[in-house]
Amino acid sequence: MTRFHTAPTLLTGLLLAGLTLADAPAARAKDVDLLAPHWDFSLRESPDPPAADGPAAYASTAPGATWNLVAWNIPGGDLSPFTRRTSGNVTVFSSTAKEASVTITQAKGATRATYKLIQDGTVLPCQGPDRQPRESDLFASPSGKAKPPHESAGLLADGKYALTDLDHLFSDADVRIKYGNVKSAKGCAVSQGGPLISVVLNNPTSHQTLFYQLALAMICGPQPEDRQRFCNDMATKPGTNYFFTKDPFGVDDSLPLLGQPFLKSGERRDVRVDILPRLLKLIAEAPAGMDKRPENWRIGHYYNGQHIWGDITLESEWTSARLIASPKAESGGP
């Protein structure tokens, strides 16, 4: 059976200012936050693939938003412009559509806003006589504050860090999820989904791209018996899968392979994992035609969020989302 995956896009953001390494020679370099704190968000246009100059912003919680939100190819109408309400020290921005909704909560004194993503497969169609599902993606990513939105290329530190420059690359996400089945199933051939984080690597030597996606949960909804068994196997015996074997390359990974169990419905957890060993392993095992030299691969983009197919509902709430690089100690004499 075909393993369903998220079609990667280039909706991601530029690294913002503040990357300072330790000055002392031979000292261990300081850890570096590669993502700006998520506070204000813009909504981006949904057609996939986007226009040549990237998905344009059509609404935001404030000018100069440092993060983006997009619901790719959303059925039943795009997310609405934000509505705002304030109560005491808390401001809440909401955006809704038939298939998805977004809520941004900003609390006075907090360093990051909380963002909640909700998808409802009720209006997500099954296509064709074989009832194949339509994919629905709802993603957040950092944007480039220093450039107008249409120029935001999504590079983190302008590709400063090659994988071999690092001792660790931590993904740290404080996230809560909740999922279930739609009230009235349409009978899609596939019903599944889950929350994820993704890091996109660029290779300026071979001019290649690698999308790395880490599943934080595997959700199996109502579907035919053989497909149900396949989905359950992915949930109970997770593995990796190169879903794109030509440039741009793409690989799915699973949280249990990094030493933590999948998130369960209703659970909130600070998921902190070092993805560098996984990236090095997966590059070494790459399909034919992909550059297997880790020194040529540089950190490029980041996004997180969720994707669904078929007859399920999914909610994820992100209190914190960080990507933290631990550069190797600098060499040199006194």
- The total of other beta-carbon atoms located within 10 Å of residue 64's CB is 11
Q: CA-CA distance, 149 to 41, in Å (whole number)? A: 12
Secondary structure of residue 232 in the 3-state scheme: helix
Give strand pairing partners of 85: 92
User: What pLDDT is attached to residue 146?
Assistant: 39
Within-domain flag for 67: yes
How confident is the model over 254-274, as pLDDT tens digits?
A: 999 999 999 999 999 999 999
Within-domain flag for 301: yes
- The total of other beta-carbon atoms located within 10 Å of residue 250's CB is 22
Within-domain flag for 174: yes
Within-domain flag for 20: no
Within-domain flag for 183: yes
**Mean pLDDT, residues 86-91:** 98
DSSP one-letter code for 210 = E
- pTM given for the model: 0.89
How confident is the model over 98-151, as pLDDT tens digits?
A: 999 999 999 999 999 999 999 999 999 998 889 999 999 999 999 854 343 333
CATH number of the domain that 175 lies in?
2.60.120.180
**Nearest CA-CA partner of 84 in 99, 114, 113, 62:** 62
Q: What is the domain count for the chain?
A: 1
Helices (H) and strands (E) in the chain, counts: 2, 20
Alpha-helical (H) ranges within the chain are 225-236, 276-284
Average pLDDT, the chain: 88
55 contact partners, CB below 8 Å, separation of at least 6: 11, 44, 45, 46, 47, 68, 70
* 17: confidence class by pLDDT, cuts 50, 70, 90: very low
Q: CA-CA distance, 269 to 118, in Å (whole number)? A: 18
How would you label 207-233 residue by residue, b for 16+ Cβ within 10 Å and e otherwise?
ebbbbbbbbbbbbbbebeeebbebbee
User: What pLDDT is attached to residue 14?
Assistant: 26
DSSP one-letter code for 26 = T
Contact in structure between 240 and 252 (CB atoms under 8 Å): yes
Range of the domain at 166: 32-147+154-327
